Amino acid sequence: MPWFPPEKKAGGESGMYFRDREAKDLILPREFEELAERQLYEYRNFLGYLTCLKQNWEMFIKTGKVDKARFIRPEVLSSWKRSRERGIDPYRLYPISLTPENLKRKLEENRELIEIASPFLDAFASNLKGSGFRVDLLDRDLYILKQFGEPEVLEMAKRQGSYPGVSRSEEATGTNAINLAAILGRPIQLVGPEHYNAQLQYWTCSAAPIFDEHEGLLGIINVAGHYLKVHQHTLGMAIALSKAIEFSWRQNRLRREKELAGKYIESIVDSIFDGLIALNGEGRITVFNRPAGQILGVSPQEAVDQAVEVILGPQPIIREALRTGEAYLNKELVFQVKNKRKTVIGNVVPIT
């Protein structure tokens, strides 16, 4: 739709005119004009900020100093200094990447993280179509494990030295959002000239760390796109993704620990020489160890989850213990198992 400059209406009121072939002239409210002017002002300020960043970066590369330190965040400037001390080339990128064998090993080591994170990152990337953004998943050593995004976006990233197996550590590439998120232990967003290496200054990157259940670093989420498309909401989305992955990781670990504890208890129960049967509050069998199976001639597999009367016949003592919470010790117990009478001496102990 063509845009026409503001014109004066009768009475001195101004507005913006938009016209198409069918619609009549439309005068937009003054609030819209003020919003457009404010956005233009903010955009010009942003371009001025980028220009100042670039000038400071160029001065730092030449002299090791900056002209206006207030424009450079302390954490970024500290990383620039470390990068300079390491002798990192600020104009050329020499990717440090894993061999195919080592990448395969790295992917296997991080299989649980990849399996948990991939559904979240894949769903998020599907909403980035046409934006030019991609999402990277890195391990704790800052090697790219997997990337999500449109094929052409990932291909461009590969041409610029960003692909699975490549290191994004400070030692390898200089200052970037990924290694700063790992070093600082918190989310951070970098734009264009804040990157130490000129080859990375095309990007704006929003990185957030992922922590395990012991607050140890698991990996990093990085959302990257053209530096002119920087927006604070992108960092917020990266943080939300990292938190969702952390929650799923911890839930998965709790589930695994519960399964492991169950197997551990089962092993202990099976190692007891006496027969042991446990019921839930409804009188259904939850534990039936091997010695119990050998004594009664019933396999644990067919007993578990069954009502106690189905396997052992009527059990008034057991039902009374469930009802009253009273223990019965050294009692004669009569079981009717597969039409055979079995008499044993045992204890019936309620668990509260």
pLDDT for 35: 65
pLDDT for 222: 97
**Strands 277-279 and 285-288, how do they pair?**
antiparallel
Query: pTM above the 0.75 mark?
Result: no
d(CA 300, CA 287): 8
8 A C-beta contact, residue 135 and residue 149 = yes
Find the helix or strand (DSSP H, E) in which 242 lies.
Answer: helix 232-271
pLDDT for 32: 64
* Number of other CB atoms surrounding residue 110 within 10 Å: 21
pLDDT for 6: 41
Q: Is the pLDDT of residue 14 over 70?
A: no
Q: DSSP letter for 209, please.
A: E
pLDDT for 84: 95
d(CA 285, CA 351): 14
Q: Per residue in 303-319, pLDDT tens?
A: 999 999 999 999 898 88
Q: Is the pLDDT of residue 8 over 50?
A: no
Find the helix or strand (DSSP H, E) in which 262 lies.
Answer: helix 232-271
Q: Per residue in 205-249, pLDDT tens?
A: 999 999 999 999 999 999 999 988 888 889 999 999 999 999 999
Q: Per residue in 86-110, pLDDT tens?
A: 999 999 988 899 999 999 999 999 9
Q: Is the pLDDT of residue 164 over 80?
A: yes
pLDDT for 217: 97
Q: Is the pLDDT of residue 12 over 50?
A: no
Q: DSSP letter for 132, please.
A: T
Question: Among candidates 201, 209, 234, which has minimal Cα distance to 133?
Answer: 234
Q: Per residue in 39-89, pLDDT tens?
A: 676 667 778 788 889 999 999 999 998 877 777 899 999 999 999 999 999
d(CA 113, CA 297): 45
Percent of the chain with pLDDT over 90: 57
The average pLDDT across 345-351 equals 89
Buried b (16+ CB within 10 A) or exposed e, 191-218: bbbbbbbbbbbebbbbbbbbbeeeeebb
The average pLDDT across 31-46 equals 68
